[in-house]
Amino acid sequence: MKVAGEWLRPLRVAAAGDAVVVIDQRLLPHRLAFETLATPQAVHHAIREMVVRGAPLIGATAAYGLALALKTDASDSAVEAQAAWLKAARPTAVNLAWALDRMVRHVRARPVPARAAAAWALAGHIAEEDVDVNRRIGEHGLPLLREIAARRGVDPGRPLNVLTHCNAGWLATVDWGTATSPIYQAHEAGLPLHVWVDETRPRNQGASLTAWELGQAGVPHTLIADNAGGHLMQHGQVDLVIVGCDRVTARGDACNKIGTYLKALAAFDNGVPFYVAMPTSTLDLAVSDGLAEIPIEERRSREVTHLAGLAESGQVIEVAIAPAGTPAANPAFDVTPARLVTALITERGVVAAEERALRALMAQTL
Protein backbone atom coordinates (compact mmCIF):
# COMPACT_ATOMS: atom_id res chain seq x y z
CA MET A 1 0.00 0.00 0.00
CA LYS A 2 1.04 3.62 -0.33
CA VAL A 3 2.11 5.66 2.68
CA ALA A 4 2.60 9.35 2.00
CA GLY A 5 2.77 8.56 -1.72
CA GLU A 6 5.39 5.82 -1.34
CA TRP A 7 4.80 2.08 -1.81
CA LEU A 8 5.52 0.29 1.43
CA ARG A 9 5.31 -3.20 2.80
CA PRO A 10 5.53 -4.18 6.48
CA LEU A 11 8.14 -6.81 5.51
CA ARG A 12 10.79 -6.58 2.81
CA VAL A 13 14.25 -7.90 2.11
CA ALA A 14 17.07 -5.48 3.02
CA ALA A 15 19.04 -4.01 0.12
CA ALA A 16 22.05 -6.22 0.87
CA GLY A 17 19.80 -9.30 0.71
CA ASP A 18 21.01 -10.64 4.06
CA ALA A 19 18.25 -9.47 6.41
CA VAL A 20 14.64 -8.33 6.43
CA VAL A 21 13.31 -4.90 7.24
CA VAL A 22 10.02 -4.59 9.08
CA ILE A 23 7.85 -1.73 10.26
CA ASP A 24 8.00 -1.51 14.05
CA GLN A 25 4.25 -1.69 14.65
CA ARG A 26 4.62 -0.87 18.33
CA LEU A 27 5.39 2.72 17.38
CA LEU A 28 2.50 3.38 15.02
CA PRO A 29 0.58 5.60 14.51
CA HIS A 30 2.93 8.08 16.15
CA ARG A 31 6.11 7.14 14.34
CA LEU A 32 6.81 5.17 11.16
CA ALA A 33 10.08 3.43 11.98
CA PHE A 34 11.77 0.36 10.60
CA GLU A 35 13.74 -2.40 12.23
CA THR A 36 16.27 -4.62 10.48
CA LEU A 37 16.14 -8.27 11.49
CA ALA A 38 19.41 -9.98 10.64
CA THR A 39 19.38 -12.96 13.00
CA PRO A 40 16.85 -15.61 14.03
CA GLN A 41 17.01 -14.16 17.55
CA ALA A 42 15.93 -10.77 16.21
CA VAL A 43 13.06 -12.39 14.31
CA HIS A 44 11.93 -14.35 17.38
CA HIS A 45 12.01 -11.18 19.48
CA ALA A 46 10.11 -9.19 16.82
CA ILE A 47 7.31 -11.76 16.75
CA ARG A 48 7.09 -12.24 20.52
CA GLU A 49 7.15 -8.52 21.29
CA MET A 50 4.73 -7.70 18.45
CA VAL A 51 7.10 -5.53 16.43
CA VAL A 52 5.42 -7.58 13.70
CA ARG A 53 2.01 -9.05 14.38
CA GLY A 54 -1.00 -10.36 12.49
CA ALA A 55 -1.22 -14.03 11.53
CA PRO A 56 0.02 -13.93 7.90
CA LEU A 57 2.83 -11.47 8.66
CA ILE A 58 4.23 -13.48 11.55
CA GLY A 59 4.20 -16.57 9.30
CA ALA A 60 6.18 -14.86 6.53
CA THR A 61 8.58 -13.20 8.98
CA ALA A 62 9.22 -16.50 10.77
CA ALA A 63 10.01 -18.14 7.42
CA TYR A 64 12.82 -15.61 6.98
CA GLY A 65 13.87 -16.25 10.58
CA LEU A 66 14.39 -19.92 9.82
CA ALA A 67 16.26 -19.08 6.62
CA LEU A 68 18.59 -16.84 8.65
CA ALA A 69 19.17 -19.62 11.18
CA LEU A 70 20.14 -22.10 8.47
CA LYS A 71 23.02 -19.88 7.35
CA THR A 72 24.83 -20.97 10.52
CA ASP A 73 23.69 -24.57 10.80
CA ALA A 74 21.45 -26.37 8.32
CA SER A 75 21.70 -29.87 9.80
CA ASP A 76 18.47 -31.83 10.37
CA SER A 77 18.61 -31.29 14.11
CA ALA A 78 19.18 -27.53 13.74
CA VAL A 79 16.33 -27.20 11.24
CA GLU A 80 13.92 -28.94 13.62
CA ALA A 81 15.12 -27.12 16.74
CA GLN A 82 15.05 -23.65 15.19
CA ALA A 83 11.60 -24.21 13.68
CA ALA A 84 10.21 -25.42 17.03
CA TRP A 85 11.73 -22.42 18.84
CA LEU A 86 10.32 -19.90 16.32
CA LYS A 87 6.90 -21.60 16.45
CA ALA A 88 6.76 -21.07 20.20
CA ALA A 89 7.14 -17.29 19.84
CA ARG A 90 3.35 -16.92 19.65
CA PRO A 91 1.00 -19.87 20.10
CA THR A 92 -2.39 -18.98 18.65
CA ALA A 93 -2.07 -18.04 14.97
CA VAL A 94 -1.55 -21.22 12.99
CA ASN A 95 0.15 -19.39 10.11
CA LEU A 96 3.35 -19.41 12.11
CA ALA A 97 3.41 -23.22 12.27
CA TRP A 98 2.06 -23.46 8.71
CA ALA A 99 4.93 -21.40 7.28
CA LEU A 100 7.61 -23.11 9.37
CA ASP A 101 6.36 -26.64 8.63
CA ARG A 102 6.41 -25.78 4.94
CA MET A 103 9.96 -24.46 5.24
CA VAL A 104 11.11 -27.57 7.12
CA ARG A 105 9.62 -29.95 4.51
CA HIS A 106 11.24 -27.94 1.72
CA VAL A 107 14.74 -27.80 3.18
CA ARG A 108 14.85 -31.33 4.54
CA ALA A 109 14.30 -32.61 1.01
CA ARG A 110 17.60 -30.94 0.00
CA PRO A 111 21.26 -31.60 0.75
CA VAL A 112 22.60 -29.63 3.72
CA PRO A 113 24.82 -27.22 1.69
CA ALA A 114 21.84 -26.18 -0.48
CA ARG A 115 19.44 -25.59 2.41
CA ALA A 116 20.13 -21.99 3.43
CA ALA A 117 19.67 -20.64 -0.11
CA ALA A 118 16.58 -22.81 -0.67
CA ALA A 119 15.08 -21.57 2.59
CA TRP A 120 15.67 -17.93 1.73
CA ALA A 121 14.06 -18.42 -1.68
CA LEU A 122 11.01 -20.17 -0.17
CA ALA A 123 10.59 -17.43 2.45
CA GLY A 124 10.47 -14.92 -0.41
CA HIS A 125 7.92 -17.08 -2.19
CA ILE A 126 5.72 -17.34 0.94
CA ALA A 127 5.79 -13.54 1.25
CA GLU A 128 4.87 -12.96 -2.40
CA GLU A 129 2.19 -15.63 -2.25
CA ASP A 130 0.64 -13.83 0.71
CA VAL A 131 0.22 -10.69 -1.40
CA ASP A 132 -1.54 -12.66 -4.12
CA VAL A 133 -3.74 -14.58 -1.66
CA ASN A 134 -4.91 -11.38 0.01
CA ARG A 135 -5.60 -9.68 -3.32
CA ARG A 136 -7.79 -12.65 -4.23
CA ILE A 137 -9.61 -12.51 -0.85
CA GLY A 138 -10.52 -8.96 -1.85
CA GLU A 139 -11.71 -10.08 -5.26
CA HIS A 140 -14.01 -12.67 -3.70
CA GLY A 141 -15.20 -10.30 -1.01
CA LEU A 142 -15.99 -7.37 -3.29
CA PRO A 143 -19.14 -8.96 -4.84
CA LEU A 144 -20.50 -9.55 -1.31
CA LEU A 145 -20.07 -5.88 -0.49
CA ARG A 146 -21.66 -4.88 -3.80
CA GLU A 147 -24.59 -7.23 -3.16
CA ILE A 148 -25.27 -5.85 0.33
CA ALA A 149 -24.86 -2.31 -0.98
CA ALA A 150 -27.30 -2.98 -3.84
CA ARG A 151 -29.87 -4.47 -1.45
CA ARG A 152 -29.69 -1.53 0.89
CA GLY A 153 -29.05 1.19 -1.66
CA VAL A 154 -25.99 3.34 -1.01
CA ASP A 155 -24.82 6.74 -2.12
CA PRO A 156 -21.97 9.00 -0.95
CA GLY A 157 -24.28 10.51 1.69
CA ARG A 158 -25.34 7.08 2.91
CA PRO A 159 -22.39 4.73 2.41
CA LEU A 160 -22.11 1.02 3.12
CA ASN A 161 -21.12 0.67 6.78
CA VAL A 162 -18.57 -2.04 7.53
CA LEU A 163 -17.40 -2.79 11.07
CA THR A 164 -13.99 -4.37 11.67
CA HIS A 165 -12.11 -5.47 14.77
CA CYS A 166 -8.38 -5.40 15.51
CA ASN A 167 -6.06 -4.99 12.54
CA ALA A 168 -6.43 -7.51 9.76
CA GLY A 169 -5.10 -4.91 7.37
CA TRP A 170 -2.03 -4.66 5.19
CA LEU A 171 0.09 -4.18 8.30
CA ALA A 172 -0.94 -7.67 9.43
CA THR A 173 0.05 -9.24 6.12
CA VAL A 174 2.64 -8.62 3.42
CA ASP A 175 0.13 -6.47 1.54
CA TRP A 176 -3.62 -5.77 1.12
CA GLY A 177 -4.64 -7.27 4.46
CA THR A 178 -7.35 -9.92 4.70
CA ALA A 179 -10.43 -8.21 6.19
CA THR A 180 -9.36 -4.94 4.59
CA SER A 181 -8.75 -6.34 1.12
CA PRO A 182 -12.44 -6.28 0.07
CA ILE A 183 -12.68 -2.84 1.70
CA TYR A 184 -9.71 -1.45 -0.25
CA GLN A 185 -10.96 -2.98 -3.48
CA ALA A 186 -14.49 -1.62 -2.94
CA HIS A 187 -13.04 1.81 -2.21
CA GLU A 188 -10.91 1.68 -5.37
CA ALA A 189 -13.96 0.61 -7.35
CA GLY A 190 -15.82 3.69 -6.17
CA LEU A 191 -18.35 1.97 -3.88
CA PRO A 192 -19.30 4.51 -1.21
CA LEU A 193 -18.28 2.91 2.06
CA HIS A 194 -17.39 3.80 5.61
CA VAL A 195 -15.61 1.66 8.20
CA TRP A 196 -16.33 1.52 11.92
CA VAL A 197 -12.97 0.73 13.52
CA ASP A 198 -13.08 -1.01 16.91
CA GLU A 199 -10.31 0.39 19.11
CA THR A 200 -9.49 -3.22 20.17
CA ARG A 201 -8.36 -3.08 23.76
CA PRO A 202 -6.00 -3.84 25.31
CA ARG A 203 -3.34 -3.20 22.66
CA ASN A 204 -5.54 -0.97 20.51
CA GLN A 205 -4.59 -2.40 17.13
CA GLY A 206 -7.76 -0.85 15.69
CA ALA A 207 -7.03 2.64 16.99
CA SER A 208 -3.32 2.64 16.26
CA LEU A 209 -3.02 0.47 13.14
CA THR A 210 -6.34 0.08 11.29
CA ALA A 211 -7.26 3.74 11.68
CA TRP A 212 -3.77 4.68 10.48
CA GLU A 213 -3.76 2.52 7.39
CA LEU A 214 -7.34 3.37 6.37
CA GLY A 215 -6.37 7.01 6.76
CA GLN A 216 -3.32 6.55 4.53
CA ALA A 217 -5.54 4.92 1.90
CA GLY A 218 -8.21 7.62 2.14
CA VAL A 219 -10.95 5.19 3.20
CA PRO A 220 -13.62 6.99 5.28
CA HIS A 221 -13.65 5.55 8.78
CA THR A 222 -14.63 6.31 12.38
CA LEU A 223 -12.92 4.96 15.47
CA ILE A 224 -15.24 3.56 18.11
CA ALA A 225 -14.80 2.18 21.60
CA ASP A 226 -15.04 -1.59 21.61
CA ASN A 227 -18.30 -1.43 23.50
CA ALA A 228 -20.05 0.71 20.86
CA GLY A 229 -20.49 -1.93 18.13
CA GLY A 230 -23.61 -3.57 19.58
CA HIS A 231 -25.35 -0.23 19.96
CA LEU A 232 -24.53 0.74 16.36
CA MET A 233 -25.87 -2.58 15.11
CA GLN A 234 -29.12 -2.14 17.06
CA HIS A 235 -29.57 1.19 15.31
CA GLY A 236 -29.03 -0.11 11.77
CA GLN A 237 -25.67 1.59 11.43
CA VAL A 238 -23.67 -1.51 10.53
CA ASP A 239 -24.39 -3.32 7.24
CA LEU A 240 -21.79 -6.04 7.70
CA VAL A 241 -18.87 -7.06 9.86
CA ILE A 242 -15.58 -8.33 8.39
CA VAL A 243 -12.84 -9.57 10.69
CA GLY A 244 -9.63 -11.49 10.22
CA CYS A 245 -8.67 -14.72 11.97
CA ASP A 246 -5.72 -16.46 13.55
CA ARG A 247 -6.96 -20.01 13.25
CA VAL A 248 -10.12 -21.54 11.82
CA THR A 249 -11.00 -25.11 12.70
CA ALA A 250 -12.28 -27.89 10.44
CA ARG A 251 -15.85 -27.21 11.59
CA GLY A 252 -15.50 -23.46 10.99
CA ASP A 253 -14.93 -22.05 14.48
CA ALA A 254 -12.93 -18.84 14.04
CA CYS A 255 -10.30 -17.75 16.53
CA ASN A 256 -9.40 -14.05 16.32
CA LYS A 257 -8.46 -11.09 18.51
CA ILE A 258 -10.19 -10.93 21.87
CA GLY A 259 -13.59 -9.26 21.54
CA THR A 260 -14.42 -10.72 18.15
CA TYR A 261 -16.87 -13.18 19.71
CA LEU A 262 -18.88 -10.37 21.32
CA LYS A 263 -19.16 -8.63 17.93
CA ALA A 264 -20.36 -11.88 16.38
CA LEU A 265 -23.04 -12.27 19.07
CA ALA A 266 -24.24 -8.72 18.54
CA ALA A 267 -24.23 -9.21 14.76
CA PHE A 268 -26.23 -12.43 15.09
CA ASP A 269 -28.79 -10.80 17.37
CA ASN A 270 -29.25 -7.95 14.92
CA GLY A 271 -29.26 -9.89 11.65
CA VAL A 272 -25.99 -8.27 10.52
CA PRO A 273 -23.86 -10.52 8.25
CA PHE A 274 -20.62 -11.52 9.98
CA TYR A 275 -17.79 -12.47 7.61
CA VAL A 276 -14.37 -13.85 8.46
CA ALA A 277 -11.61 -13.19 5.90
CA MET A 278 -9.40 -16.27 5.91
CA PRO A 279 -6.34 -17.12 3.85
CA THR A 280 -6.43 -20.91 3.69
CA SER A 281 -3.06 -20.92 5.49
CA THR A 282 -5.14 -20.01 8.58
CA LEU A 283 -7.32 -23.12 8.30
CA ASP A 284 -6.28 -25.85 10.73
CA LEU A 285 -8.03 -29.02 9.64
CA ALA A 286 -6.32 -30.93 12.46
CA VAL A 287 -8.46 -29.11 14.99
CA SER A 288 -12.26 -29.25 15.24
CA ASP A 289 -13.54 -27.73 18.49
CA GLY A 290 -12.02 -24.26 18.61
CA LEU A 291 -12.96 -23.66 22.24
CA ALA A 292 -11.33 -26.82 23.50
CA GLU A 293 -8.39 -27.18 21.17
CA ILE A 294 -6.92 -23.78 20.24
CA PRO A 295 -4.23 -22.51 22.62
CA ILE A 296 -5.11 -18.96 23.63
CA GLU A 297 -2.14 -16.69 24.23
CA GLU A 298 -2.22 -15.05 27.66
CA ARG A 299 -0.28 -11.81 27.51
CA ARG A 300 1.18 -9.53 30.17
CA SER A 301 -1.30 -7.96 32.60
CA ARG A 302 0.46 -4.63 32.10
CA GLU A 303 -1.24 -4.37 28.67
CA VAL A 304 -4.55 -4.15 30.56
CA THR A 305 -3.51 -1.97 33.49
CA HIS A 306 -1.57 0.57 31.41
CA LEU A 307 -2.11 2.53 28.21
CA ALA A 308 0.47 4.00 25.85
CA GLY A 309 -0.21 7.16 23.90
CA LEU A 310 1.13 10.43 22.57
CA ALA A 311 1.40 13.13 25.22
CA GLU A 312 1.00 16.80 24.36
CA SER A 313 4.75 17.09 24.81
CA GLY A 314 5.15 14.95 21.68
CA GLN A 315 6.53 12.02 23.68
CA VAL A 316 4.94 8.59 23.64
CA ILE A 317 4.26 7.79 27.27
CA GLU A 318 2.66 4.99 29.23
CA VAL A 319 0.12 5.71 31.93
CA ALA A 320 -1.56 3.51 34.53
CA ILE A 321 -5.36 3.23 34.32
CA ALA A 322 -5.90 0.96 37.33
CA PRO A 323 -4.86 1.07 40.97
CA ALA A 324 -1.25 -0.07 41.37
CA GLY A 325 -1.09 -3.81 41.85
CA THR A 326 -4.56 -4.57 40.42
CA PRO A 327 -4.59 -8.16 39.17
CA ALA A 328 -5.48 -8.23 35.46
CA ALA A 329 -6.13 -11.10 33.05
CA ASN A 330 -5.22 -10.74 29.41
CA PRO A 331 -6.41 -13.52 27.08
CA ALA A 332 -5.39 -12.22 23.65
CA PHE A 333 -7.82 -14.16 21.45
CA ASP A 334 -11.28 -15.69 21.56
CA VAL A 335 -13.20 -18.22 19.50
CA THR A 336 -16.35 -17.41 17.56
CA PRO A 337 -18.39 -20.59 17.04
CA ALA A 338 -19.11 -21.47 13.41
CA ARG A 339 -22.86 -20.95 13.91
CA LEU A 340 -22.27 -17.20 14.27
CA VAL A 341 -20.19 -16.90 11.08
CA THR A 342 -22.16 -16.02 7.94
CA ALA A 343 -19.32 -17.19 5.67
CA LEU A 344 -15.56 -17.28 5.29
CA ILE A 345 -13.97 -15.22 2.53
CA THR A 346 -10.92 -17.10 1.25
CA GLU A 347 -8.59 -16.76 -1.70
CA ARG A 348 -10.37 -19.77 -3.20
CA GLY A 349 -13.84 -18.28 -2.85
CA VAL A 350 -16.54 -17.65 -0.27
CA VAL A 351 -17.32 -20.75 1.76
CA ALA A 352 -19.73 -21.76 4.52
CA ALA A 353 -18.23 -22.16 7.99
CA GLU A 354 -18.84 -25.90 8.09
CA GLU A 355 -16.70 -28.97 7.78
CA ARG A 356 -17.95 -30.47 4.53
CA ALA A 357 -17.67 -27.17 2.66
CA LEU A 358 -14.20 -26.45 4.07
CA ARG A 359 -12.84 -29.90 3.22
CA ALA A 360 -14.33 -29.64 -0.30
CA LEU A 361 -12.70 -26.22 -0.72
CA MET A 362 -9.31 -27.59 0.25
CA ALA A 363 -9.72 -30.65 -1.99
CA GLN A 364 -10.12 -28.43 -5.07
CA THR A 365 -7.12 -28.56 -7.36
CA LEU A 366 -6.00 -25.07 -8.26
Is residue 8 within 8 A of residue 2, CB to CB? The reply is yes
Closest listed residue to residue 257, CA positions, set 206, 328, 332, 330: 332
- Span 170-229, contacts to ligand MRU by CB under 6 A: 172-173, 177-178, 205
Q: From CA 36, how far away is CA 257, in angstroms rounded?
A: 27
- Using CB under 6 A, pick the residue from 256, 281, 336, 342 that binds ligand MRU: 256
Q: What's the closest the beta carbon of residue 157 comes to ligand MRU, in angstroms? A: 31
Q: What's the closest the beta carbon of residue 312 comes to ligand MRU, in angstroms? A: 27
**Closer to ligand MRU at the Cβ: 82 or 167?**
167
Radius of gyration of the chain (CA): 20
246 is catalytic: yes
Q: Which residue is nearest to ligand MRU (CB)?
A: 244
- The interface mask with ligand MRU, positions 38-77, x = CB under 6 A, is ---------------xxxx---------------------
In DSSP terms, 195 is beta-bridged to: 162, 221
- Characterize the bridge pairing of strands 193-198 and 221-224: parallel
**Active-site residue, from 130, 198, 226, 246:** 246
DSSP element (H, E) containing 160: strand 160-164
Q: What's the closest the beta carbon of residue 25 comes to ligand MRU, in angstroms? A: 8
Q: What's the closest the beta carbon of residue 336 comes to ligand MRU, in angstroms? A: 12
Q: From CA 85, how far away is CA 117, in angstroms rounded?
A: 21
Q: From CA 57, how far away is CA 43, in angstroms rounded?
A: 12
- Using CB under 6 A, pick the residue from 142, 174, 241, 332 that binds ligand MRU: 332
- Classify 274 as helix, strand or coil: strand
Active-site annotation, residues: 246
Binding site for ligand MRU (CB under 6 A): 53-56, 93, 166, 168, 172-173, 177-178, 205, 244-246, 256-257, 332
